[in-house]
Amino acid sequence: MTDHGQQLEPAFVLHRRSYGETSLIVDLLTLNHGHFSVMARGAARLRSQWQGELQPFRPLRVSWSGRQSLKNLRHAEATAPALSLAGDRLYCGFYANELLVRLLTEADPAPELFSAYLATLEQLAAEDVALEPLLRRFEYQLAGELGYGISWDRVGDTGEPVQAGRTYAFHPGQGIMAQGYGPVGGIPGEHLLALAADELETQVVRRLAKKLMRSLIDHLLQGRPLHSRRLFTRQGRSE
């Protein structure tokens, strides 16, 4: 990446951690330059102008410089108040952030995913939006960005359309399977067709969507744990 010291770019903080006594290392998601880390020097000082800006779920405009993997943050300003998330909705926000940090390739532009992330946060902040369908759609968009988009209405090993009245299996590396075995089996074709039509209103389809996306996300993580899942577990729920 070239030096962007004079450029202001829409961004969100995905994660931040202390570095030394006064600085922070901040994982950013930006509109045109994807996910990468910056050093925010002096940002941990109580009187730092960045102390209140570099928070998750707050729309920012940032600039940075440097050609190495770890950039230097030059400017950060909030463009709107932080989106208000609490309880399960806050946990969902942390879950989305951790997925992006763990799975996105560094500095790989993904403007459509940035827009999907912003839309997800805005809907999380709306108390009348159901959480599970929202998370499943975000996971699906992220998987597609990573090259793992699944056609729920197409059989991966035969190329044929999924049919109601038949059962199928799912393999995260191959998609819907007519034959053989996968982590998830015995899937009714009519439920897959509902997923393909983005019909997540019924509980049985929601449960299936969670099971399939959990299998796919775990495959992408390659055994790495997600710390945000513990937040749901402590509340007796799952993401």
pLDDT digit string (tens) for the chain, length 239 residues: 444 445 799 999 999 999 999 999 999 999 999 999 999 999 999 888 898 899 999 999 999 998 888 999 999 999 999 999 999 999 999 999 999 999 999 989 999 999 999 999 999 999 889 999 999 999 999 999 999 989 999 998 889 999 999 999 999 988 999 976 778 999 999 999 999 999 999 999 999 999 999 999 999 999 888 988 877 665 556 66
Tokens at residue 219, please?
Answer: 């495959």
Total residues found in the chain within this entry: 239
> DSSP E strands: which ranges in the chain?
9-19, 23-30, 34-40, 60-65, 70-78, 167-171, 175-177, 184-188
Note the pLDDT of residue 223: 84
Note the pLDDT of residue 190: 97
Whether the CA torsion 21, 23, 27, 29 is positive or negative: it is: positive
Residue-wise pLDDT tens digits, 176-206:
999 767 789 999 999 999 999 999 999 999 9
Note the pLDDT of residue 182: 75
Tokens at residue 164, please?
Answer: 């109601």
Give me the residue spans of the domains in the chain: 9-78, 88-234
Helices (H), 70-202: 88-103, 111-124, 131-145, 189-196
CATH superfamily of 9-78: Nucleic acid-binding proteins (2.40.50.140)
Q: Using CA atoms in the order 136, 195, 115, 220, what is the torsion angle rounded to 10 degrees?
A: 50
Rounded Cα gap, residues 176 and 156, in angstroms: 5
Token pair 């930006």 is found at: 30
What is the value of pTM for the model shown?
0.91
Residue-wise pLDDT tens digits, 7-39:
799 999 999 999 999 999 999 999 999 999 999
Q: Which CATH class is domain 88-234?
A: mainly alpha
Note the pLDDT of residue 46: 85
What is the CA 178 to chain-centroid distance, rounded? 29
DSSP 8-state assignment for residue 212 = H
